[in-house]
Homo-oligomer: A and B are copies of this chain.
Amino acid sequence: MENFEFESPTHFAFGRESEKRTGELVKAFGGTRVLLHFGGGSIKRTGVYGKVVASLEAAGVWFVPLGGVKPNPREALVREGIGLARREKIDFILAVGGGSVVDSAKAIACGALHDGDFRDFTFGKDCKNPPVVKSALPIGVVLTIAAAGSEGSCNCVISLEPDNLKRTITGDRLRPRFAVMNPEFTFTLPPYQTACGLVDIFAHVVERYFTPSRDVRATDELCEAVMRTVVAESAAVMKDPSDYSARANIMWAGTLAHNNVCGVGRVQDWSSHGIEHELSALYDCAHGAGLAVVMPAWMEYVMPSGVSRFARFAEKVWGVAPGDEASMAREGLSRYRAWLKSIGMPATFAELGAKEEDIPLLARNLGLKDGQTLGSFRKLATADVEAIFRLCV
């Protein structure tokens, strides 16, 4: 087991009607002037917006709304939010939505406390040497999509235009102070978006599970526990979007998958996320759908470097009977692909709207210089990334 430092201080208020706690929690964490951040109109149609506003008003908390966050949240709106937060002397950012809204809120929370240009203190001068963020306004979340795990995580991903790059900001100060999680708020998600969330949650565990670290049984077991939960609950939620039990277990699994309780004490990988981010940056496809294409290809490519781990994955997550490790490993990957198909996810570049001829550009956008590599389970150079993209075609 590797040495680690870990904290996950977020206060989780989970369950039916938990949104009624929103105003009270904002106040408890010091919020008096709130930027209420959200996406498109869906939270107004579903009534979530009205419930949150009612809770803020009941608590006597002043707020200013800023909607318009799109999937793969954009730098432009973050900059608008930073300006608004400074002008209005905002002291708390409340994100109501899914991962994109939470990520946008985190970037604003970070930017509002820094003088100078947004990119300098988040991604580094050339967008390639991101510092760890040391301060940010406090953030609260009312979650409406189980997927990104941003409600408990220490980072966010922002799309930079016009460069078509996705870049990550990191720091424990970005962990939300609280997250209100009512599984009923996810009942209205369309099947495709629900499935994208399942893929993303599963992938957050995979990126931690495939590790070069040894003797990490405690977190291996946790990773497998969360992956099995996601797979086991997926059929129920795809069949009945209003299955509270399935929605609740998936929602909580989404937090466990990414607050890093499954990742401590182990070197992590994150190649598939890095590779996928270039896809969703260039084609604006859903992150989960991109992962459904990239991650099996990554597994196929790196499997020879760690067959035993893939055999364990096959046995513990997919119920493959013990036997020859190479056969088990292949069978596990086959069952993972079958599961992705069963929940309606794409399997190829074409289904994503991605183009084979863009592969060199996509690989180049990762920005790996000579000698630099991505990942840890197997270290990937640009040529390896291109090879993985080709497996997606």
Given A14-B4, A224-B225, A265-B14: A218 in contact with B9 (beta carbons within 8 A): no
A5 at the interface (CB under 8 A from B): yes
Confirm or deny: A13 has a beta carbon within 8 angstroms of a beta carbon on chain B: yes
A215 / chain B contacts, CB cutoff of 8 Å: 244-245, 248-249
Chain B residue numbers with a CB within 8 Å of A5 are: 11-14
Cross-chain contact B15 with A11 (CB below 8 angstroms):
no
User: Assuming A6-B14, A248-B265, what are 11 further A-B pairs, CB within 8 angstroms?
Assistant: A1-B249, A3-B16, A4-B12, A6-B11, A7-B10, A9-B9, A218-B249, A218-B252, A219-B252, A252-B265, A256-B261
- Chain B residues whose CB sits within 8 angstroms of the CB of A12 once the complex forms: 4-7, 264
In the assembly, what is the distance between CA of A10 and CA of B2, in Å? 19
CB<8 Å pairs between A and B, sample of 10: A1-B183, A1-B252, A7-B10, A8-B9, A215-B245, A217-B233, A218-B249, A221-B225, A222-B226, A225-B225
* Also in contact, A256 and B3, with CB within 8 A (given A9-B9, A261-B261, A264-B14): no
Contact call A245/B1, Cβ cutoff below 8 A: yes
Task: Find out whether the CB atom of B7 lies under 8 angstroms from the CB atom of A9.
Answer: yes
Contacts of A1-37 to chain B: CB distance below 8 A:
1-18
Shortest A29–chain B CB gap in Å is 11
Please measure, in the bound complex, the distance between the C-alpha atom of A2 and the C-alpha atom of B18, giving whole angstroms.
12
Q: Which residue of B lies closest to A253 (CB)?
A: B218
A64 at interface, CB cutoff 8 A? no
Binary B-proximity of A207-236 (CB < 8 A = 1, otherwise 0): 000000011111101101110110011000
Is B221 in contact with A226, judged by CB distance below 8 angstroms? yes
Q: How many residues of A contact B (CB 8 A)?
A: 44
Which residue of the partner chain, among B4, B217, B249, contacts A229 with CB atoms under 8 Å? B217
Which chain B residue shows the least CB distance to A15?
Answer: B3
- Tell me the A248-307 residues at the B interface (CB within 8 Å): 248-249, 252-253, 256, 261, 264-265
By a CB distance below 8 angstroms, the chain B residues around A261 are 256, 261
Q: How far is the CA of A17 from the CA of B221 in the complex (A)?
A: 26
A228 to B217, CA, bound (A): 9
Closest to A216 in B: B249
Residue of B nearest to A1 (CB): B248
Contacts of A256 in B (CB 8 A): 218, 222, 261
List of B residues within 8 angstroms of A264 by Cβ: 12, 14, 252
Q: Closest CB-CB distance, A59 to chain B, in whole Å? A: 17
Contacts of A15 in B (CB 8 A): 1-4, 265
Q: Which of A9, A218, A261 has the most CB of B within 10 A?
A: A218
A-B residue pairs, 5 tightest by C-beta: A3-B15, A215-B245, A221-B225, A9-B9, A225-B225
Q: Which residues of B contact A1 (CB under 8 A)?
A: 15, 183, 244-245, 248-249, 252
CA of A252 to CA of B218, assembled, Å: 7
Residues of chain B with a CB closer than 8 A to A4's CB = 12, 14-15
